[in-house]
Structure 1
Amino acid sequence: MTVQSGTIARVIAKDTGIQIDVTAQAANFTPAGTLFASASDSAGLVQPAVTVTANGAGSYTFTLTTLASQPASRYTGNVTIKLCSDAPCTVAQAVPSITVPYDVTVQSNLSAWPGDKLTALSALSGVADWATFQGNNAHTGYVPIEVNADKMVLRWKRGAVNNSGSNFSATISPLVTSNGRFFASGDKKLTAYQESDGAPLWSYDTTGLTYASVNPPAVDGGVVYMAAGQQQSTYMLAFNAADGSLRMKSAMTSQWDNYLSPIVQNGAVYTNGGSYGGIYGFATTGEQLFFSSLSQTSGWSPAGDARAIYAYTGDALTLFEPKTGTVLSSIKDTGFSNYVYQVGGSAVIGANGGVYAAAYANGYLNGGNIGNALTRFDTLKGFVDWRVPGVYRVTPAYADGVLYAPNANPYRIEARAEATGALLWSWIPPLSGETSFFASPVVTKNLLITSTNLNTYAIDLKSHKVVWSYPAPGYLAISQNGILYIQSTDGLVAVNLK
């Protein structure tokens, strides 16, 4: 029997366990009766219990689970999987065992950094860069790649790249990526860094503005866009991504607001703005296309597709014609109360006219006792289709008809069917000290990656089990070069995904 899945190579946050699948192919060997198995290793890293799945044509998957009690350290050696014909694993098969090498690092928040792994960067086929809040203009947080957990290797770590405000869901400015670089705003400036090692490349300082401040950026076509400043000194700025030279400075109005990232689409950039709430559209050459007043809320990002630009302001979802700003339709959210004048997230565009949102910032009020509701707006028929009450503090991720929504009460990640809102499955963080979700999750073809106040987890979408974890919270992003970023006020960690 030949192991086909290769060496087990994982990072595990201390006090958490993970699931590991080992795939093996039988050659000239047919198990006698039902194939059972047990596992062991010299370090006591894995639990004895093994689940065996027959895949057909002599292929088997052995599912192992690590112990959560292992001290922080690096563990190397071999896992022996004993092959048996009885459940207690006392009667050996004709092939009595297989051996799988492992290299596992159990990491705590006190552990020393294990060392950089600066492999050569290359773009993933069919994957776009992380261009705005939650990656794309639909804000789905979805990246169309299969991630092998054994390839998730810590690349580099550096100090925090920013700390930019007090928005309920944006206490730091989420970074964006393009062409081997990432861009982050904070400390009154926008800075470009190289993905390969996190080294800074250029910065633009906004202290020349009357009220210097910055908001999260977006990037498109080699240009970085950012709303900056407050009151009468507020602008939409654009910079050459290569050298930071200023390309555009268009005046806006605001009060003391913070905004999430703008979006860029078909030669135009759209942003939250206005002294009393609203949305701006600018040509990427700087001319104002339109301004439309909306209810007085800030801390949101527009969404966009070929049909419209979408603004969720808590009280309503409003659709705009992209070039003129003409209101195409507006669907009221009658369950909203404007307690804090911030949304703290964005609408997410799904399929079949479905757009999803919640009054995220309201979920922080009174310890979450006020709550909110995850809501589906049917933009084809013009009404609210369903609501699910809860405490949804961050924007959900979306892929293939499923919303992945962190809920603070009950405390869990919820996988919900977009058509009906029905709960498909849920995942509860394992540690008693985990009490909140740090930021929006991201999703790939096979993994959901989410961050609590303590750890970041990769959860297999089929088994709903953790397959990788790291002992730090953070905003999450995945670049075209296959780098996962975990970004917090304490530091920035880059993880190779390939």
Structure 2
Amino acid sequence: MTVQSGAIARVIAKDTGIQIDVTAQAANFTPAGTLFASASDSAGLVQPAVTVTANGAGSYTFTLATLASQPASRYTGNVTIKLCSDAPCTVAQAVPSITVPYDVTVQSNLSAWPGDKLTALSALSGVADWATFQGNNAHTGYVPIDINADKMVLRWKRGAVNNNGSNYGAISPLVTSNGRFFASGDKKLTAYQESDGAPLWSYDTTGLTYASVNPPAVDGGVVYMAAGQQQSTYMMAFDAADGSLRMKSTMTSQWENYLSPIVQNGAVYTNGGSYGGIYGFATTGEQLFFSSLSQTSGWSPAGDARAIYAYTGDALTLFEPKTGTVLSSIKDTGFTNYVYQVGGSAVIGANGGVYAAAYANGYLNGGNIGNALTRFDTLKGFVDWRVPGVYRVTPAYADGVLYAPNANPYRIEARAEATGALLWSWIPPLSGETSFFASPVVTKNLLITSTNLNTYAIDLKSHKVVWSYPAPGYLAISQNGILYIQNTDGLVAVNLK
């Protein structure tokens, strides 16, 4: 029997366990009766129990689980999977066992960094830049790749790239393009190398009357950012290669903070206005429109070929992209305006569905006020369904499923976009985990989410954790296959291939 899945190489946050699948092919060997198995290793890293799945044509998957009690350390050796014909695993098969090498690092938040792994970078086929809040203009957080958890290797770690003090967790989520990433903070916009995290250029806004910066977006080799306050507020654009200023267009605001703008079809759109609203600018700098909205901040527009969408808590409003003409507005009658921040964005799904919650309301009274995950039917113009809960961060979306962190009950929920029905859920394992740090990211096979303590990669089929790291953060996946975990203490880059 030949192991086909290769060596085991994982990172595990201390006090948590993960699932490991080992695939093997039988050749000139047919198991007698039902194939059972048990696992062991010299370090006591894996649990004895093994689930065996027959895949057909002599292929088998052996599902193992690690113990959550191992001290922080690096563990290397071999896992022996004993092949048996009885459940207690006392009667060996004709092929009595298979052996799989492993290299597992159990990491705690007190552990030393295990060392950089600066492999050559190359773009993933079919993967776009992480260009704005939650990666794309639909804010889905979806990246169309399959990730092998054994390829998730810690690349580098550096100090925090920003600390905005903004209403979105005091962090400006980064964006990526062409081997670089861009982050704003401390009144500056800075570009860094993806390869090693080294800074490349920086633009300082201290020359503005009320200097401040908001999260950036990137498109076509240009970085866009709203900066300043009151009457010294601007939409700025910078050459991504050298940081030279490409445009600086006047806009207004009060003392608000915004999420990233979006860029599409030669225009850039952002939250703004002294009393709330949305701006549209040509990427050459001309103002296309300004449209007033309720006075809320901390949101990012969403966009597709049909419209630009602004969710302000009280309503979802659709705008014609070039003129700013209001196409329609759907009131959220369940909204109570306790705060003047949204703290997230609308998410564009399929069949005219747009999804949102009054995210910032989820923090009021310790979550006792709550909110509701809501589907807006933008084709027919009404609120289609609501799910009450405490949804504090923007959900991810892929293939008809919303992945929504809920603070009460505390879990990640996978919900059907058509009806809001709960498909499955995942509960963080540690008693000290009490909140979700930021929006999740979803790929073809994994959901990656961050609690207040750890970051987890969850298999979409088994709903089990396959990789974890002992730090929370805002999450992004670049075109070069790097996962970023970003918080106020530092920035961790993880190779995904």
TM-score (norm 1): 1.00
Query: 1:20-64 CA deviation, whole Å, 9 max, x = no partner?
Result: 000000000000000000000000000000000000000000000
Secondary structure of residue in 2 paired with 1:204: strand
Verify the 8 A CA contact 1:8 1:104 in the aligned structure 2. Answer: yes
Distance 1:257 1:100 in 2: 55
Return the alpha-carbon distance in structure 2 between the equivalents of residues 169 and 477 of structure 1: 16
- Output the CA distance in 1 between the equivalents of 2:277 and 2:434: 34
Q: Distance in 1 between matches of 2:212 and 2:363?
A: 24
Offset of residue 169 of structure 1:
4.8
Q: Provide the identity percentage.
A: 97
Match of 1:378 in 2: 377
**1:282 to partner: Cα distance:** 0.1
SS of structure 1 residue aligned to 2:16: coil
Deviation, 1:164, is: 0.7
1: CA distance, partners of 2:186 / 2:435: 26
CA contact (8 A) 1:5 1:24 kept: yes
Question: Cα distance 1:291–1:399, how it changes in 2: closer, same or farther (>3 A)?
Answer: same
Instruction: Give 1:20-169 correspondences, 5 Å limit.
Output: 20-169=20-169
In structure 2, distance between residues paired with 1:95 and 1:207: 71
Local SS of the residue matching 1:134: helix
1:337 deviates by: 1.2
Residues 238 and 248, structure 1, Cα contact 8 Å, conserved in 2: yes
Cα shift readout 1:198-242 (whole Å, capped 9, x = no counterpart):
000000000000000000000000000000000011000000000
Q: Are the aligned partners of 1:169 and 1:361 in contact in 2 as well (CA < 8 Å)?
A: no
Q: Output the CA distance in 2 between the equivalents of 1:351 and 1:169.
A: 29
Q: Distance in 2 between matches of 1:338 and 1:288?
A: 30
Offset at residue 340 of structure 1 (A): 1.3
Q: Distance in 2 between matches of 1:173 and 1:98?
A: 48
CA contact under 8 A between 1:276 and 1:296: conserved in structure 2?
yes
**Aligned residue for 1:258?**
257
Q: Are residues 103 and 451 of structure 1, via their aligned partners in 2, closer, same or farther at CA, if it must alter by over 3 Å?
A: same
* Equivalent residue runs for 1:478-489 within 5 Å: 478-489=477-488
Q: Partners of 2:359 and 2:13 in 1: how far apart?
A: 28
Q: Deviations over 1:138-183 (max 9, x none)?
A: 000000000000000000000000011231455x000000000000
Structure 1 unaligned segments of length 5 or more: list them: none
Tell me the SS of whatever aligns to 2:339. coil
The CA deviation string for residues 439-458 of structure 1, in whole angstroms up to 9 with x for no partner, is 00000000000000000000
Deviation at 1:338, TM superposition (A): 1.3
CA distance in 2, matches of 1:168, 1:110: 26
Structure 2 distance, partners of 1:40, 1:266, is 57
SS in 1 for 2:145: coil
Mapped contact 1:169–1:393 kept (Cα < 8 A)? no
Separation in structure 2 between the aligned mates of residue 363 and residue 204 of structure 1, nearest angstrom:
35
The within-5 A match list for 1:52-451 is: 52-169=52-169, 172-451=171-450
**How far has the Cα of 1:71 moved from its partner?**
0.2
Distance 1:72 1:241 in 2: 40
| Aligned mates of 1:389, 1:252 — CA distance in 2 | 36
Q: What SS does structure 1 have at the residue aligned with 2:133? A: coil
User: 4+ runs of 1 displaced by more than 2 Å?
Assistant: none
Secondary structure of the 2:280 match is: strand
How far has the Cα of 1:329 moved from its partner?
0.3
Instruction: Give the Å deviation of 1:339.
Output: 1.1
1-structure distance, mates of 2:79, 2:210: 60
Instruction: Report the Cα distance in structure 1 between the residues aligned to 2:38 and 2:114, rounded to whole angstroms.
Output: 31
Provide the TM-score with structure 2 as the length reference: 1.00
Aligned length: 497
Cα-to-partner distance string for 1:251-289 (whole Å, 9 max, x where unaligned): 001000000000000000000000000000000000000
Secondary structure of 2:362 counterpart = helix
